[in-house]
Structure 1
Amino acid sequence: MKDSDESPEIVPEKIENSFNYKALLGIAILVISFHIGINYFIETDDADTIVSIFSMFVPLTLAIIGFSVVRKYKGTQVFGKAYLALSFGYLSIFFAEVTYAIYDIVYNIEPYPSIADIFFFMLYPLLLVYLFINIKFFSPNLGKKAKAWIIVMPLIVLLAYSVVSTTAGEISILEFDFYYGIIFVYAATLTLAVSIVGASIFKQGVIGKAWLILVIGILLNNLGDLWYYNLELFGEYDLLHPVNMFWYSGYIVVIYALVIHKKTL
């Protein structure tokens, strides 16, 4: 899209075949290698610092690239707003990681729950804005199965989380932690459910594979979030846990999708 005044909402046809699976394999190898390296070849204190810096740098890079895509879509009625929401969402993750690191590394205070959670939570509504804008544009009338999935799937996961937290997690339904966890689990699962619907739509037609890859990145992030919230039930999360690989790979996959998308505009 070279001129925002000329057919601003047309989707570039080049997007459909603009990626290869070797790149995704490369991302997987990079993330796994990084995780092995910091766990087995670096001292724990240094590894924590490296993980924190990496966790800040990647979503910040993603947000910057996202804002550059927004500039490309300047003047459009649909995609400019969608990518603006996406970019602000990952920028909020950058602020969340900075706050988390200050609590955990600088002051040695348990960072969950903390102010950082406000920034982490902001990602969900902003991702939902991005997803719903695109879904509405490319599939104005969702089928009954898709609507049912978006409603029922989060409720099932929420029920399972409630059972686990009140039994194995030994958290009372009268405790603050129970409801605090439920809010995050529901938001993450709702975003995951909508992402799956988006993936089923975006794999077809003119929307192309770049959007599908981007949604896969969002899916990876949300799966990591759900795993994390379950880990927190038992106090088993630390900065070197394998769940981090879901977040790293999710961020980098989204970056890859945005780079592809930007090159085709």
Structure 2
Amino acid sequence: MKDSIRHKELADFLQTRRKRLSPQEAGLRSDSTRRRTPGLRREEVAALSGISLTWYTSLEQGREIRVSEQVLESLSRTLKLDKDERSYLFALAGQWLPGDPESDAGSNEAISPATKLILDELHRFPAYIVGRRWNIVAWNRIAAEVFGYSDDMNDRERNVVWRMFMMEEYRQLFVDWENIAKGQLAQFRSFYGKFADDPWYNNLVEQLLKSSKEFEMWWPQHEVIHSPEGRKELHHPRLGVLSMDYSSFSLAEDHSMIMTVFTPQAHTGTMEKLDRFFPARV
């Protein structure tokens, strides 16, 4: 969406939400006979949100103004926005939506039954889901067998970056570990930038800097990529070499959760190996 269109959409959205909210709903006492139009006045929204009337008026006029996360949170509370409306407000303002302020980020990353069913039905293809902290929150049976996931993994073992740099058995799965690890780190870095104020992220980075010489060497380089698709070659201890493409995409139910699906590359024998080891269900 172009900036000019985005600012116009933001202006229209703020106006509609202001006009639908009565003074009583906003906690104000008002004589309705003195109001020519329903809803709150601009000056009331500005005062309740702790911002100047001039600045708020500029927002409703669609002017190109950079809106901070704090102001967006104030407007969300003043206008009584629900979860979806709050998310839309942040998107229109060009801001990454922060975690729910009433809960610990990443503490409640459950997937829906429908998503779990989709994951399980991909029984021929390894697939897993990571949350906003890159912890594995769900996987299917074939992913467990290929990548070694299990229910008894601790918090660190569930983190895909920690696994890549700190778990020797996991490192040995990848034929070209160095390039794959560098690529994953660059992807993680782009994600990290959105949550750099999260103490959990900073703690993870500090631990990896102390524990992994490769991480310590590559992290200061600030390499950043966003690659939802790619190829990986694995050397499985029982299946041998597996050549697979992967595709990653956000879940509609929570855009900070990412599902990654691995599909065998054609003419490599990978599909036949997986089918022999994990027979197709009837």
Asked if these proteins are the same fold (TM beyond 0.5), I'd say no
Larger Rg: 2
More strand by share: 2
| Higher-RCO chain (CA-CA 8 Å, sequence separation at least 6) | 1
